[in-house]
Chain A
Amino acid sequence: MLKNLLIKLIDRYNLKSIQVLITFSFSILIFFIICAIAFLSYHITGTVVEENTNEYVYQLVKQVNNDIDYYLKTVETIAENIRYNNDLNEYVRTEDQELEKDIISDLNTYVESRNDIINIVFISNKGKVFHNNLQLKLKDNINFEDFEWYKKAKNEEKFVVSESHIQRLFESRYKWVVSCSTLLKSPYYEENLGVLLVDINYNLINDMVSSIKLGQKGYVFIVDNNGDIVYHPKQQLLYSGLKSEDMDTILNSEDGTKTVVEDRKKKQYTITTSKYSGWKVVSSVYMEDILSYKPNLDRFFFIMGTLAIFISIFISVLISRSILHPIKKLVNTMHQVEEGNLDVSIDIKNDNEIGELAKAFNLMTNRVNNLVNQNKKIEKNKRKNELRALQAQINPHFLYNTLDSIIWMAESKNYKAVVTMTSALAKLFRISISKGEQYITVAEEIEHVENYLKIQKIRYGDHLDYHIDVEEDIKQNKIIKLIIQPIVENAIYHGIKNVPGGGMIDISVKKYDNKILITIADDGVGMSEQEINLLFQKDKELPKEKKLGGVGVRNVDNRIKLYYGEDYGLEIESEIYEGTTVKAWLPNISIIGGDNV
């Protein structure tokens, strides 16, 4: 369900970006966790508050009950004291009129010493009535048998506590009292003395109980064991039927808390029963009063919840941003690379996986970039060198000089030499063009250089000598063309030409392990170490006077390296006035697939 809803939401609002997803799901998750925690703790605290309140109320009510018991016991003590009163005992036996005054003053002592006792009345078993206050006039024609307190005390022969009522023994005096009565038995002889009545001021109980506040509306009331009300703050309402208490529940329940429903509102009775008087002190507390502690908690949880939700949203935004911001950057850069811009790098310094990803990406683009650049450079060099090779073959100087020599020989009618030179020149050009092929056989390469040397030999005469030695079984191996001629040209112009006695060029092509070694050695003026180094220094312009030859040699070296790799190329050994040996290393490949090395 939830998942479906989530998917719908995501579809509708295009919330598919991971950032939104992370923020959203994090917040929902945290929200639900907080709700659950708040709900639980709210309920737990609620229950705890309720339990504590119940316990508190129970203790309170129990205390009231104990106080009342204690109080009633003190009243019973008075009754006990009066039982031992000598005057009284004496009077009942002798009916001595002179004792009457003493008895009344004895009774009055108790009333005077305590302001909670309203009257003490003693009705002797012969019907004589004593009461403590002589100012009050007992009503005429009183039949004590009409009074519950009298009947009960006499019949049940124990200490009896009445419900609250108006004491109507006296004229013009109507006091709310609780009557305690008991049948007095003489401690000295086997006879009942009579019934003693002690009226307690009802206000005392009223004060004891009515001062107890239980929430806004809660109250405490007292019923006796018949369900008659001893004290109730709303007694008038009870009698008018405007209010009722669930007496069945109260009378039939054990001590403790009972929940009842009144006017659709829940309320709780907390009942305690006195073992002494049989009274039940009951508190009535409305649930809404107990729960009124809760709003504070409501607010607390609300504030905590709101804070937590905002913090959670913030943190999830933070997390998703810290993850996704670099990823976005990465994606953008990748797009750039896709469009061909390799000169990019990502500035992410995080130490996490994404940082590593970015680092790897940077490294990769860098390498690709280098390779591409290198490739471009190689291609460029290839073209440049080919052009130069071409240029070298048709060196106009050489052609001009040769043609000049031919003319000169023709004029001197040396026709044989003219034929040799012209045919050599033709062969030279045929091979160097070689139908545009880059690769030619070793034999052809040798033929090419031989023709060149033939031409030069005619021009230089005894000044130049040469010798070529080629191993037979590699003659058909293919190599890139025009390697030897530029070196030979160099040897002639820079080595032998300036030697007064002329020189010798020795060319050999040999197999050497898997390589072909072409050696071009002359015994000319040689080169210094510095000059050799200059020859190989890339991208550096050579001194002007060395340019022509230098370029030729370097070009050869470059071409070998371009076509075969760095393992191959030229080596130059030279000693001043001794001569120079150039070694060209080439791979020994019998069949070459084509131009695409």
Chain B
Amino acid sequence: MKKYIVPLSICISLAMLLIIGFDLAKSFKYNTKEKPVVYMIVKSSKPSEGFEFWEIVKMGADVAATELDVDVIFTGPEDETQVEEQIRLIRDAIKQKPTAIVLAATDYKKLREVGQEVISNKITLITIDSQVDVDTDHSFIGTDNIGASKTIAKELAGMIDNKGRVAVMSYVYGTSTSIEREAGFREVLKEYPDIDVIEETWYSNGSIDIAYEKTKEILKKYPDTKAIFGANEICIVGIGRAIEEFGLKDEVVVVGFDSNEEIVSRIESGIIDKIVVQKPFNMGYQGIKEAIKIANREKKPEIIDTGAVLIDKSNLYTPENQKLLFSFENK
């Protein structure tokens, strides 16, 4: 048997090597196939009461994360005016070398530099809701803000019989969405000779109280205001509170973007007349999906319109709209 020891040991060691090699290859495969990490940096991560938009975005992102087996880190400044804080958060995220960063930019221009940094670090950049001014092509998932604001402007014109003074309240100066919404709205109403849109734009700066105060300011300055346009949830809530307080629900038409329970309740009571509701859940969900697809080079960047729905008293409670208007998280 002695003379077989050599071939035997060769055979056994070969087999061992193969098994160990296979194990190693397998563990390597797992290492490289580690869960991708995606940062989702939104405008506001600790929303004030009633400001649900970003929470729903997060819900959508979470669903996509489970579906795709991705780690999603959801973060953002406390409110949407804190541009510098958001830039800092993006820089922190870059350091972690994530697969992708999904960004809702608080400022179109100011975030240009940090946006370029994301791209130059070979991290996939996806924007949702609000775009950022970077040179490279990237996917944007959000509402067609210009289109939606044009639609609501046309609706508004009909409601005020194509004449009268209209005021515009936006939220943060410089954010792409606010620029687009305002632009689309003003553009349509220019074509109505009897409608006078006030040149000045008021800004809520992410605070319901400011929006409320500014509304009172508008109503004092222009008592003949026929309609007010609120460019986002916070503006609408503030406007709604002021109109209710002044008892002007029949005199002033209120239209705008986004909803929450308070807004729904004011639609029911006729204070707020028509709103455009976006699909934040879809932004979150599709934002993550798109990020993974682009990172895996499965498709080319593109602009995805998540769509928007016009809501008024008549269609508040259809099953589809219930889901859009009321989140489940109201325990």
Residues of B274-323 contacting chain A, CB below 8 A: 279, 281-282, 285-286, 306-307, 316-317, 319-320, 322-323
Residues of A150-191 contacting chain B, CB below 8 A: 163, 165-166, 168, 171-172, 174-176
Are A165 and B12 within 8 A (Cβ)? no
| Contact A176:B317 (CB < 8 A) given known A240-B307, A314-B11 | no
For residue A302, CB closer than 8 A to chain B, the reply is yes
Are B67 and A217 within 8 A (Cβ)? yes
The chain A residue sitting closest to B327, CB to CB, is A176
Among candidates A206, A233, A299, A313, residue contacting B63 with C-beta atoms closer than 8 Å? A233
Are B330 and A175 within 8 A (Cβ)? yes
CA–CA, A246 and B80, complex, Å:
41
CA–CA, A321 and B6, complex, Å:
14
CA–CA, A175 and B320, complex, Å:
16
Among the stretches B105-113, B218-226, B261-269, the one at the interface with A is B261-269
Are A240 and B328 within 8 A (Cβ)? no
| Contact A314:B328 (CB < 8 A) given known A235-B323, A242-B285 | no
CA–CA, A64 and B181, complex, Å:
47
Q: Which residues of A contact B7 (CB under 8 A)?
A: 314, 317-318
Among the stretches A66-74, A99-107, A304-312, A542-550, the one at the interface with B is A304-312
| Contact A299:B326 (CB < 8 A) given known A168-B317, A242-B282, A242-B285 | no
| Contact A166:B317 (CB < 8 A) given known A203-B328, A233-B63 | yes
CA–CA, A15 and B326, complex, Å:
79
CA–CA, A433 and B4, complex, Å:
72
For residue B22, CB closer than 8 A to chain A, the reply is yes
Name the residue among A172, A239, A307 with the largest chain B CB count within 10 angstroms. A239
Are A237 and B328 within 8 A (Cβ)? no
Name the residue among A165, A240, A306 with the largest chain B CB count within 10 angstroms. A240
Residues of B55-99 contacting chain A, CB below 8 A: 59-60, 63, 66-67, 69
For residue B18, CB closer than 8 A to chain A, the reply is yes
For residue B19, CB closer than 8 A to chain A, the reply is yes
For residue A350, CB closer than 8 A to chain B, the reply is no
Are B317 and A240 within 8 A (Cβ)? no
| Contact A234:B63 (CB < 8 A) given known A139-B268, A171-B265, A299-B26 | yes
For residue B14, CB closer than 8 A to chain A, the reply is yes
Q: Which residues of A contact B159 (CB under 8 A)?
A: none
Q: Which residues of A contact B306 (CB under 8 A)?
A: 240
Q: Which residues of B contact A171 (CB under 8 A)?
A: 265
Chain A count of residues within 8 A CB distance of the other chain: 37
CA–CA, A234 and B325, complex, Å:
15
Q: Which residues of A contact B14 (CB under 8 A)?
A: 310
For residue A122, CB closer than 8 A to chain B, the reply is no
Are B11 and A313 within 8 A (Cβ)? yes
Among candidates B8, B19, B67, B323, residue contacting A236 with C-beta atoms closer than 8 Å? B323
Are A237 and B63 within 8 A (Cβ)? yes
Residues of B1-27 contacting chain A, CB below 8 A: 4, 7-8, 11-12, 14-15, 18-19, 22-23, 26
CA–CA, A243 and B264, complex, Å:
27
For residue A374, CB closer than 8 A to chain B, the reply is no
Among candidates A139, A217, A235, A318, residue contacting B4 with C-beta atoms closer than 8 Å? A318
Residues of A222-242 contacting chain B, CB below 8 A: 228-229, 233-237, 239-240, 242
Q: Which residues of A contact B319 (CB under 8 A)?
A: 163, 165, 228-229, 239
Are B22 and A216 within 8 A (Cβ)? no
The chain A residue sitting closest to B328, CB to CB, is A176
Residues of B25-72 contacting chain A, CB below 8 A: 26, 59-60, 63, 66-67, 69
Q: Which residues of A contact B285 (CB under 8 A)?
A: 236-237, 242
CA–CA, A172 and B306, complex, Å:
29
Give A319 Cβ to nearest chain B Cβ, in Å: 11
For residue A568, CB closer than 8 A to chain B, the reply is no
Give B307 Cβ to nearest chain A Cβ, in Å: 7
Among candidates A172, A203, A228, A310, residue contacting B265 with C-beta atoms closer than 8 Å? A172
The chain B residue sitting closest to A313, CB to CB, is B11
The chain A residue sitting closest to B320, CB to CB, is A239
Are A310 and B328 within 8 A (Cβ)? no
The chain B residue sitting closest to A233, CB to CB, is B63
Give A161 Cβ to nearest chain B Cβ, in Å: 16
| Contact A303:B19 (CB < 8 A) given known A206-B328, A240-B307 | yes
Q: Which residues of A contact B326 (CB under 8 A)?
A: 166, 174, 176
Give A71 Cβ to nearest chain B Cβ, in Å: 18
The proximity string for A residues 93-111 relative to B, scoring 1 for CB distances below 8 Å and 0 otherwise, is 0000000000000000000
| Contact A203:B322 (CB < 8 A) given known A174-B264, A307-B15, A313-B11 | no
- Could you list 28 examples of A-B contacts with CB < 8 Å? A165-B317, A165-B322, A166-B322, A168-B268, A168-B316, A174-B261, A175-B330, A216-B69, A217-B67, A217-B69, A228-B319, A236-B60, A236-B281, A239-B324, A240-B279, A240-B281, A240-B282, A242-B285, A299-B26, A302-B22, A303-B19, A303-B22, A306-B18, A306-B22, A307-B19, A310-B14, A310-B15, A314-B7
Q: Interface residues, chain B, CB within 8 Å of chain A?
A: 4, 7-8, 11-12, 14-15, 18-19, 22-23, 26, 59-60, 63, 66-67, 69, 261-262, 264-265, 268, 279, 281-282, 285-286, 306-307, 316-317, 319-320, 322-326, 328, 330-331
A-B pairs, top 9 by smallest CB distance, nearest first, are A236-B281, A310-B15, A314-B11, A239-B320, A310-B11, A172-B265, A166-B322, A306-B18, A166-B326
Seed contacts A139-B268, A302-B22, A306-B18; 20 additional CB < 8 Å A-B pairs:
A165-B317, A165-B319, A172-B262, A172-B265, A174-B261, A174-B326, A176-B326, A217-B69, A228-B319, A236-B323, A237-B281, A237-B282, A239-B320, A240-B281, A240-B282, A240-B306, A242-B286, A306-B22, A311-B11, A311-B15
